[in-house]
Structure 1
């Protein structure tokens, strides 16, 4: 998938665990892991907003698009 989720990078920079972030934003660690590992099919804007607030970042710090050409 060309959408990359950089939650692990932000967690490392803030020295925060997945469990702590999950508690702060009100989702289970398992659901956060699905998002963190790029297996989520969708993200609610409320969840994205909660992530941004807890991690003190912008949505673009969490999600980025990477071009994967079909010819590669």
Structure 2
């Protein structure tokens, strides 16, 4: 996949727990895990907004595009 999800990196930088983020944005820890591992085909902008709000970051801090070689 050419879109890389750096959610684990942002959680570590902010010293935040996945459990707390999941609770704040209103999704299950299992669904958050799917997002963190890039096992999703899409993400709602409202969910992305809530993640960015909680982590005080920009969407580009979480999502990265890498060209396939």
Q: TM-score, normalised by structure 1?
A: 0.92
Question: 2:22 aligns to what?
Answer: 22
State the Cα RMSD in Å.
Answer: 0.6
Aligned to 1:44: 44
Give the 4+ runs in structure 1 shifted more than 4 A. Answer: none
Structure 2: 5+ residue stretches without partners: none
Is there any run of 5+ residues in structure 1 with no aligned partner, and where? none
TM-score, normalization by structure 2 = 0.96
